[in-house]
Amino acid sequence: MIPMLMRLKVSRNPNRYGVLLPVFLVWILLFALMIVLLPFVLIAALLTWRSGQGKWLLLTYPLLISVLFHLSGLHIEVENREQNILIAFL
Amino acid sequence: MSEERTKILEMLQQGKVTVEEAEKLLAALASPEEAKSATPKTDCKYLRVIVEPGPRSEDQDRVNIRVPMKLIRAGLKFAAFVPKHAHASINQALHEKGIEMDFAQITQQDIEDIVSQLSDLTVEVEGKEKVRICCE
């Protein structure tokens, strides 16, 4: 399932911020951009097909979507004396 | 013991095949049930990397990363996008690190095998910092 929200928490003494970012809005924009770019990608793939790069160019779309769909559950937390940063995809 | 297995062991005894070759042949002969039982468990969902300061460490940096295994699989597929002319540089860099490996020879199946074997992985390094890598 594609993550809908991103939790961002920054603690920098003495301040603390925590936000839930609606990343689904980013995905909507990204998918719209991908659709707009699709004809150009197809043309580029056709032009570079003989060199063997066209195939990989076509594969970028499913691979990118695959990465985005599996971002859910990613949790990164970095902490030191001064600050603490947490990024988590929900 | 089946006839084929006996033949392979005989060939090994006679020195017609090496131990590695015999092992491969025996593995190929394994029944589907045996092969199934030999496959590693795949219930590992996340790869966890934890870095904590050691007892003698001056830094108090802590890192806690949890990466979904599916994301690792998806991300590794991008390795196919590495241009062919970069392979030589990668091999050179690996050689400098003491790793004798040909990057061009790594197939998608190899990557899949490595990722599937990660479910049994637990690495614990204790030095200046404590590093723990495990599957959850």
pLDDT of B1: 58
Strand partners, A11: A16, A84
Residue with more model confidence, A44 or B44: A44
The structure tokens listed for B37 are 């039982």
- Taking CB atoms and an 8 Å cutoff, what residues of chain A touch B62? 77-80
State yes or no: pLDDT of B135 exceeds 90. Answer: no
The structure tokens listed for A90 are 């929900």
Residue with more model confidence, A29 or A50: A29
Local structure of A77: helix, strand or coil: strand
Query: Which member of A67, A72, A79 has the closest CB to residue B75?
Result: A67
Q: Does pTM surpass 0.80?
A: no
Mean pLDDT of B45-74: 87
Residue B79 touches partner A, C-beta closer than 8 Å: no
Burial readout A37-71 (b: 16 or more C-beta within 10 A, e: otherwise) = eeeeeeeebeeeeeeebbebbbeeeebebbbbebb
Contact by Cβ (8 Å): A18, A8: yes
The structure tokens listed for A72 are 């859910």
pLDDT of A36: 96
Mean pLDDT of A15-21: 91
pLDDT of B78: 79
CB contact under 8 A, A63 and B63: no
Q: What is the pLDDT of residues A58-70, one digit of tens each?
A: 888 898 999 999 9
What dihedral angle (degrees, nearest 10) is formed by the CA atoms of B90, B134, A88, A37? 30
Distance CA B112, CA B121 (A): 15
Domain boundaries, chain B: 1-39, 40-135
Task: Fill in the amino acid letter for B1.
Answer: M
What ipTM does this complex have? 0.82
State yes or no: pLDDT of A71 exceeds 70. Answer: yes
The DSSP output letter for B16 is S
State yes or no: pLDDT of B38 exceeds 70. Answer: no
Highest-pLDDT range among B43-47, B55-59, B79-83: B43-47
Query: Which member of B74, B78, B81 has the closest CB to residue A70?
Result: B74
Average pLDDT of chain B to the nearest whole number: 79
Burial readout B22-39 (b: 16 or more C-beta within 10 A, e: otherwise) = beebeeeeeeeeeeeeee
Distance CA B11, CA B16 (A): 5
Q: What is the pLDDT of residues B76-113, one digit of tens each?
A: 887 777 777 888 888 889 888 888 888 778 777 887 78
CB contact under 8 A, A71 and B62: no
